[in-house]
Amino acid sequence: MKNLLKRYRFFLIMLLLLAGIAVFDATLSLKATQMSWDNLLDLMAVVPPIFILLGLLDVWVPREVMIRLTGEKSGFIGIALSFLLGSFAAGPLYAAFPVAGIMLKKGSKLSNIMVFIGAWSTTKIPLLLFEATAMGWTFMLGRLILNLPVILIIGYLVEKSIPRHDIDKIYQSAESF
């Protein structure tokens, strides 16, 4: 029972807060409940397909191929592939983390995973096309040109700033994913 309460403590706290809000403002409580429900439905529409794709990635792509393409000795090919995977991805940023976990499990270099997450969050093709139509090609290209080196620098700095034994722990944690 104690483990169950500990596992769902955030959810229970939110329910208590929602009940507290209902005491003072029932309309606000109903609106918050509806928004929470809508967010849950959005999440449920995104998560199952991502986990199906993760399962396929885990089964269909051998570890040796992932290491060769995005591992320690992948060089520019690994960076480019990680960037393209992130840029062509669809879905919200929280969907990138399970994919990154599978990449870790398969032996991808940590900096390439950071590039993948950076590309997913800032350079998705649909986002770039929207920016081009809404704010103009100059803005979109300027932002893209500024983001590219920053993503690469962040990926490099993250990998170099974490001690090797901590990186090894990250890879060990990914093995249980």
Instruction: Answer yes or no: pTM beyond 0.85.
Output: no
The pair of structure tokens assigned to 17 is 């807060």
pLDDT tens column, 24-57? 888 998 998 899 899 888 888 877 887 887 888 7
Q: Which residue has the tokens 């320690």?
A: 72
Residue whose pair of structure tokens reads 């051998």 in the numeric block: 62
- Where are the chain's structural domains? 1-46, 61-175
What pLDDT is stored for residue 169 in this prediction?
92
Predicted confidence (pLDDT) per residue in 15-29, tens digit: 899 889 889 888 998
With beta carbons less than 8 A apart as the criterion, state whether 69 and 81 touch.
yes
The reported pLDDT for the residue numbered 137 is 95
Three-class DSSP category at 92: coil
Nearest to 109 by CA among 60, 48, 176, 162: 162
Q: Cα–Cα distances in Å, from 56 out to 14, 59, 85?
A: 35, 5, 15
The whole-angstrom separation of Cα 163 and Cα 121 is 25
